[in-house]
Structures are given as C-alpha cells and as structure tokens.
Amino acid sequence: MTALLTTLTMASKMAPDDYVGFTFFVGCMAMMAASAFFFLSMNGFDTKWRTSILVSGLITFIAAVHYWYMRDYWASFGESPTFFRYVDWVLTVPLMCVEFYLILKVAGAKKSLMWRMIFLSVVMLVTGYFGETVDRGNAQVWGLISGIAYFVIVYDLWMGSAKKLAEAAGGATLSAHKMLSWFVLVGWAIYPIGYMAGTPGWYDGIFGGLNLDVIYNIGDAVNKIGFGLVVYGLAVAKQKEA
C-alpha cells in the first residue's frame, strides 16, 4: 500500500512532457490491474488450467513491481533503469516460454521443449545485457548472438516442434499458439529495436533518435498483458468444451 501511494505521489509531480515517466507509471498500473484480474479469476477454472492463469498473473505482477522501482529510479536519477529492466526480463520472459509448454501439454509437449526455450531466452537476455551495459564497444556482436537465440525461438514456434504440437492439438489450442507466436515474432521485435536505439553500431542512423525506454515500456505492457489474455481466452474456451 505504501509503495502504491508513493508511486501515485510521484505521478502527481510528473512533468507534463515526461513521456518516459508517464509510460513507466501507466505500465505499472496496467500490469498490476492485469495481475489482480488473473489471480482473482483462477478459482473459476479447472485445476489443469490454474497453473497457466497463475503464470500469467506472475508475469504481470513481477513486471509491475519492477516498473515501480524503474519509475522511482527514473524520477530520482533521470537515467534508464537498465539493470532493473533486465532483471525483470530474465524472470518474466522464461515464464512466457513456460506458457507455451503449458498450453501444448495436451498434445504431448515434453519438458525438454520448455527447458530449451528457457535456455534460449536466457541466452538472448544475458547477451543483450552485456551488449547494452558491460561491453558496449562490441554491442553489435552481443546483439547478433542475442538475435540468433531469438530467431531460434521464433523458428521453433512457427516451423519447429512447437508448431507441430500445436497443429496436433488443433482447435482453440492451435489458435492460441498462433496468437502467442505472433506476440513473439512481432511484439518481441520491439526489444531489438530498443537495443539498437540504445547502443552504437551501423544502425545509428536508423534507430539512434528513438527513446528506448518508451519503446520498451509500451512493448512490455502490450506483450505481457496480451500474452496473459490469450492464455486466459484459451482456458475459457477449453472450460466451455468440457
């Protein structure tokens, strides 16, 4: 409660043209509201779907907590809270990968699929962090490694084993898988754009003028809340079929 009041107080002091601070605040409130929605709706589903809804709530809740700290950091120092952002991602992005495994279990998905996607997502994030903060002189190299891990995930979802499992499941599961895969292909593409906007490289003339915090904040809210709503919609559809 104290944290919420502090955030509201900071928001009241926000400069009218502080678009970064505004998106931090809105993102925090939106993801907190989404978390409450997911957690409170859990008891309306069968046990086999509660884990999926719980994970959706955890994703947005973890992000909301980090966004409160990031808004505080931005207000105090006027600097991009890169460390907090990557801590958030290293917790939430693997959980988003877990969601694919949970919805594909009905088609026989094995834990090896889940762990492979988690591993690739961690590689994507750790190398991205190195390029953005630790070794900016080689940001292009770290970004390339991060991008390869990302595209392997995309391949698995669109043409690999995950796609085959979704097709075997069919119906609402296939539709949900396609929607989540679009989030990864299009929604997650915001992050490499933000990475290029914040690091030196041949792309300076293309993305150098963009504000990476605004890009990341909007992308986080859309991707994480949208991800959870797709899973929620699948759970509702399956509940009706039962």
- Beta carbons within 10 angstroms of residue 164's beta carbon: 13
For residue 22, the model assigns a pLDDT of 87
Q: Could you tell me if residue 211 is left (phi over 0), alpha (psi between -120 and 50 degrees) or otherwise beta? A: beta
Q: Hey, what domains does the chain have and what are their CATH numbers?
A: 16-241 (1.20.1070.10)
Residue 129 and residue 80: Cα distance in Å, rounded?
Answer: 13
Burial of 9 (0-12, 13-18, 19+ CB in 10 A): exposed
* CB under 8 A, 24+ apart: contacts of 113-117: 113/156, 113/161, 113/162, 113/165, 116/156, 117/153, 117/156, 117/162
For residue 207, the model assigns a pLDDT of 62
For residue 13, the model assigns a pLDDT of 59
Low-confidence stretches of the chain (pLDDT beneath 50): 12
For residue 55, the model assigns a pLDDT of 96
For residue 86, the model assigns a pLDDT of 94
For residue 127, the model assigns a pLDDT of 96
